[in-house]
A and B are shown apart, each in its own frame.
Chain A
Amino acid sequence: MLVTFPHMGNAYIAMKSVLEDLGVDVLVPPPCTKRTLELGAKHSPELACLPLKLNIGNYIESLEKGAEVIVMAGGCGPCRFGYYAEVQREILRDLGYSFKMVVLERPQGNVRDFVKKLSMITGGKSIMQVLASIKRATRVAVMMDELEKLCWQVRPRERVSGTVSRLMQEFHSKAYKARGSRQLSALIGEYKNKVSRVAVQEGKEVLRIGIVGEIYTVIEPYVNLSIAEKLGCLGAEVDKSITVSYWVINHLIKEALHLYNKRDLNEASYPYMRSFVGGHGQESVANTVLYKRKGYDGVIHLLPFTCMPEIVARSALPEVSRQYDIPVMTLVLDELTGEAGYMTRLEGFIDLIRRKKELDKAYEEVLPGN
């Protein structure tokens, strides 16, 4: 039984870890390419959001390679993601593929339901084994995000530009072949070491940019056109408000156990957004405020075209930007996003915040506070 799942940035590493530790044969879909997107866009509803289309492309490419089971996450609204699996199943069925789809949903109150579904894929493994492998995979996801974070910090400072990106390319091609949590964490450790030893320009002043928005567009480099890498090469250190490990820990584990604390979120997004709106809409507004408080120079807001929660966030961000004096740029992504136009906007934004930083500094020197 060959199991596959859709891509979302480095999430495949955590998925590989949990499934392979349970003795499941995993087929990681080929990395997203233009073909993936074209296949997805062709067979999906026209106005569906971009992640749904890319998921379809991933499934088709995996099914072509012989995958038999698709593992997908679910949800209970109000964001469209919760109904993805239903729509995707029908699309693939109507295309004539035969497969089994297992939808892992956040358990409504008890974890047992979730574990039961997992054991449908894993066969006779005990609940304890399943829980232990989830725990190890969470650890792997955290390590992976630490590695990415390190890359974001080193990239704008590297002496020979492109070193980090080359190392990461090497890493991903090895990660596709590694098996289980042990090999994966060893590999991540090895590359963390390599990246931290990349020669950097000491004391270089870099801009700091926070990335907020819809989780898939923030995390998946194919849709955001490797925004972290591009900004890094332009001399900016980035931070993403949402990562795979954040999602696993907060939304899969803590929310299921009713431990997810939203007090900070509600405080930061008040009064611009006073309610949960599904997806990560409220988080986008809150994190923009939090980035300002942490001293970041600018925020980039990403969303797929027609994303419902982020449209609400988008209506609040201009006001947040004005009140908190932090530049915010919104980029809407869809299957027609052109790279040149996108690059120009990123360069423009970087120039703008660099200029703003200089001006702010000049003001401070001319008009010292008391």
Chain B
Amino acid sequence: MPKVGIPRALLYYNYFPLWKVFFEELGAEVVLSGLTNKKILDDGVNCCVDDACLPMKVFHGHAVHLKDRVDYLFVPRLISVEKNEYICPKFCGLPDMVINSIEGLPKVIDCTINLRDGNKSLRKAVLEVGGLFTGSLSRIYNAYQKASAELADYERLMLNGATPLEALNGNGPPPADYQYSIGLIGHPYNIYDNYVSMSIIEKLRGRGINVLTQDMVCKEELDRIAEGFTKPMFWSFGKKIMAASSYLIDQRNVRGIIYLVAFGCGLDALVGDLVERRIRKKGVPFCMITIDEHTGEAGVDTRLEAFIDMLEWRDTQKCL
């Protein structure tokens, strides 16, 4: 049985159920890299271009971790997943970056997904990847149908407030009695990777705070808000982050917003600035935490505690 390696990084948090079911239906064994740890990050830092952003380095680390254990490494070239939008330039060149930076790779599955001008390339990519494992078109088609249904279930769980880790196990969010909610926004691969984000979600939940992310808001709502932008936002994640920040404040009544930014992320540099200006005008507390490969956990904890204390203090002041 051919082994397909999927790095637990970048869009793993958005599409893993789809990829897993698709490959398994085609008779491949899916090998997932381990949870991000110091070794993986260090390996990534060592082989990746030094001024790339943190998540790219993490991805390279996971690829190194997998390369000797699999027959295929799955590194899709995701140029665009929405009409007229892009993900980011580094995603357009991700397979090239990985191939140029890491030696001794197995065969890389680098199908191109570009939905910018329509769905044509998706069909092509599905057939191309499926063709590696089977000659039967109907088998590929069925595998893709099943995989899409799996992804829809996963996204539904996330909408109900589950983190990817919970949703991947088929669970909803843990039942708990939260005092209030705060919004946590940022790229999914930053906020859900517990090593990179230093378990920020668990820390906040542990303080009795409900955490709402942009993935817990339905797409239609976000699209509706995004229509009001002065210029259409051409980055899918940027659009989601910007729209979600105002949705969470206006509709979900969050007390504050935390934006987790990766050092070197081009989108976060601009989107972060736009989001911050908007949130401040609304008079809602805002905290931007930048993470990089040497972030000390104690410093982040201090900032989180100070932010929470400030939110709670602010609440007592309002009551007076």
Contact = CB atoms under 8 A, between A and B. Distances in A.
Contacts of A305: 51
Contact of B112 (A103, A275, A279): A275
A338 to B, nearest CB: 17
Contacts of B100: 272, 315-316, 318-319
Interface string A85-123: 111011100100000000100000000000000000000
A80 B96 CA distance: 20
Given A78-B87, A278-B86, A45 B234 contact: no
A39 interface: no
A47 B89 contact: no
A48 B270 contact: yes
A315 B264 contact: no
Given A48-B270, A275-B79, A278-B86, A77 B234 contact: yes
Interface stretch (B133-141, B143-151, B196-204, B271-279): B271-279
A47 B268 contact: yes
Interface residues of A, number: 46
Interface in A245-279: 272-279
Given A48-B270, A80-B270, A83-B270, A315 B231 contact: no
Interface residues of B, number: 40
Interface stretch (A13-21, A306-314, A339-347): A306-314
Interface string A313-335: 11110110000000000001000
Contacts of B89: 78-79, 277-279, 281, 308-309, 311-312
Contacts of A87: 270, 273-274
A76 interface: yes
B263 interface: yes
SS of B interface (majority): mixed
B96 A312 contact: yes
A74 interface: yes
Most B C-beta atoms less than 10 A away, residue of A48, A86, A277: A277
A49 B266 CA distance: 8
Contacts of A90: 273-274, 277
A308 B266 CA distance: 6
B234 A82 contact: yes
A83 B234 contact: yes
B3 interface: no
A83 B233 contact: yes
A312 B270 contact: no
A364 interface: no
Interface string B99-132: 0110000000000100000000000000000000
Interface in B87-103: 87-90, 92-93, 95-97, 100-101
A21 B305 CA distance: 60
A279 B266 CA distance: 13
3 cross-chain pairs, A with B, having the tightest CB-CB distances, nearest first? A312-B93, A77-B234, A78-B86
